[in-house]
A = this chain, B = another copy of it.
Amino acid sequence: MRTFLDCIPCFMIQALRTGRLVGLSDEKIRKLLIDLGGKIKNIKLDDPPPKTAVMVYDLISSYTGETDPFKTVKKQGTEKALALYPQLKKNVSESEDPLGLAMQLATIGNVIDFGISSSYDLESEIQKIMDQSFGRWDEEEFKKAITRADWILYLGDNTGETVFDRLLIETLAHTVTYVVREKPIINDATREDALEAGLDKTATIISSGCAAPGTVLDQCTPEFRELFRKAPVIISKGQGNYETLSESDAPIFFFLKAKCDVVARHLGVKKGDLVLTSGYLN
Interface set of A (CB-CB < 8 Å, partner B): 5-6, 8-10, 12-13, 16, 26, 29-30, 33-34, 36-41, 45
Q: Which of B16, B34, B41, B45 contacts A9 (CB 8 A)?
A: B16
A12 to B6, CA, bound (A): 9
Complex: A38 Cα to B12 Cα, angstroms = 13
Name the residue in A26, A40, A41 with the highest tally of chain B Cβ atoms < 10 Å from its Cβ: A40
Contact B16 A33 (CB under 8 A): no
A37 to B6, CA, bound (A): 14
Which residue of chain B has its CB nearest to the CB of A20? B5
Q: Specify which of B5, B9, B29 is in contact with A5 (CB 8 Å cutoff).
A: B29
Q: Which residues of B contact A5 (CB under 8 A)?
A: 16, 26, 29-30, 33
A43 vs chain B, min Cβ distance (A): 8
Chain B nearest Cβ from A84, distance in angstroms: 28
Q: What residues on B are CB-neighbors of A30 within 8 Å?
A: 5, 45
Closest to A31 in B: B41
Write out the residue numbers on chain B whose beta carbons fall within 8 Å of the beta carbon of A37.
8, 36-41
Query: CA separation between A215 and B34, bound complex, in Å?
Result: 27
Shortest CB distance A218–B (Å): 24
Which residue on chain B has the smallest CB distance to residue A9? B12
Contacts of A26 in B (CB 8 A): 5, 45
Q: Which residues of B contact A16 (CB under 8 A)?
A: 5-6, 8-9
Q: CA–CA, A34 to B11, complex, Å?
A: 13
A29 proximity list for chain B (CB < 8 A): 5
- Nearest CB of B to A234, in Å: 32
Contacts of A36 in B (CB 8 A): 37
Give the CA-CA distance A16 to B40 in the complex, in Å.
13
Alpha-carbon distance between A172 and B26 when the two chains are bound, in angstroms: 45
Contacts of A40 in B (CB 8 A): 33-34, 37
Taking the closest CB of chain B, its distance from the CB of A58, in whole angstroms, is 17
CA separation between A16 and B12, bound complex, in Å? 13
The CA-CA distance from A12 to B9 in the complex, in Å, is 6
B12, B34, B39, B41: the one within 8 Å of A12 (CB)? B12
Residues of B within 8 A of A33 (CB): 5, 8-9, 40
Closest CB in chain B relative to A23 CB, distance in Å = 14
- Cα distance A12–B34 when bound, in Å? 12
Q: Given A5-B26, A16-B5, A16-B9, is A41 in contact with B45 using a C-beta cutoff of 8 Å?
A: no
